[in-house]
């Protein structure tokens, strides 16, 4: 079974590298522009996607200016289906056109993440998202707008996962195991960050990274 998970993860990573290359480059360009303009990278995710948002903040090798949105709420998954909360959360932040907001949600269909992304764009910030685009063919959006996270993003990166977020079947018991979205989300983030560093170095700009 472990070999099944490895094989399926390798396939997903291969698909990301093949099909998301242009989106990752565009995301890196946006982030590089944010750095050059003295802007801030804000990250946001609920439930297990919070771990992807957290990975980008306060860690050696991460951007010095990166910040979590609403880090004082320990488990926003409790509220991700609640309409109207996104704009309320962003009232606490003075988003500027020089800022980038990085939003992660495997399904990309819950009101909270859709609203955070839409409100951030409304305020002029750039929005980069990671979600499973296949969900749009499988499950309806629960946002009042009827939109998905990918619909309200400047750059929408597909993590090439499924709505179940599970890879390996256990036919004996009708169960599945092995969630890829946290791994792929962090992988995609580092592909963006790596490319951003390349672009900054090419422009003779020192990447503002936390020293190891």
Mean pLDDT in order along the chain per 10 residues (212 residues) = 84 97 98 98 92 94 92 64 86 95 96 96 97 95 96 98 91 91 97 98 97 83
List phi, psi (to 5°) of 68. Answer: -80, 140
> Is 210 inside any structural domain?
no
> Is 169 inside any structural domain?
no
> Is 94 inside any structural domain?
yes
> Is 208 inside any structural domain?
no
Answer yes or no: are the C-beta atoms of 125 and 69 closer than 8 Å. no
| DSSP-based helix, strand, coil % in the chain, nearest 5 | 45, 15, 40
Res 73: pLDDT: 57
| Whole-prediction pTM | 0.93
With 0-12 / 13-18 / 19 or more C-beta atoms within 10 angstroms meaning exposed / middle / buried, residue 69 is buried
**How many domains, in total, are found in the chain?**
1
What is the C-alpha separation between 136 and 114, in angstroms, rounded? 13
> Is 174 inside any structural domain?
no
CATH number where 124 lies: 3.40.50.10490
Res 145: pLDDT: 95
Answer yes or no: are the C-beta atoms of 118 and 153 closer than 8 Å. no
Res 82: pLDDT: 77
Record the tokens describing residue 59, joined without a space.
């860690």
> Is 171 inside any structural domain?
no
Res 1: pLDDT: 56
- How would you list the strands of the sheet with 67-68, edge to edge? 67-68, 41-45, 100-104, 126-131, 155-158
Q: What three-state secondary structure class fits 167?
A: coil
Res 75: pLDDT: 62
List phi, psi (to 5°) of 20. Answer: -110, 10
Res 111: pLDDT: 94
Res 80: pLDDT: 80
> Is 172 inside any structural domain?
no
Res 74: pLDDT: 55
> Is 108 inside any structural domain?
yes
Answer yes or no: are the C-beta atoms of 26 and 188 closer than 8 Å. no
Candidates 50, 127, 132, 120; CA nearest to 86 is: 120
Segments forming the whole domain that contains residue 137: 23-163+181-202
């Amino acid at each position: 079974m472990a070999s099944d998970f490895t094989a399926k993860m390798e396939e997903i990573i291969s698909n990301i590298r093949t099909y998301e290359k242009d989106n990752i480059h565009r995301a890196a360009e946006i982030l590089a522009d944010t750095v050059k303009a003295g802007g801030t990278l804000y990250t946001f995710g609920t439930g297990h996607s919070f771990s992807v948002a957290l990975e980008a903040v306060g860690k050696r090798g991460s951007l010095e200016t990166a910040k979590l949105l609403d880090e004082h709420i320990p488990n926003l998954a409790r509220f991700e289906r609640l309409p109207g909360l996104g704009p309320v959360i962003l009232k606490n932040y003075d988003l500027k056109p020089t800022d980038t907001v990085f939003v992660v949600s495997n399904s990309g269909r819950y009101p909270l993440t859709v609203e955070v992304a839409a409100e951030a764009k409304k305020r002029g910030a750039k929005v980069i998202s990671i979600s499973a685009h296949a969900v749009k063919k499988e499950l309806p959006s629960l946002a009042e707008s009827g939109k998905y996270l990918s619909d309200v993003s400047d750059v929408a990166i597909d993590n090439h996962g499924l709505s179940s977020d599970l890879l390996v079947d256990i036919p004996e018991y009708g169960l599945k195991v092995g969630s890829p979205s946290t791994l792929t989300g962090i992988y995609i983030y580092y592909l963006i960050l790596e490319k951003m560093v390349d672009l900054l170095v090419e422009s003779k700009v020192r990447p503002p990274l936390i020293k190891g």
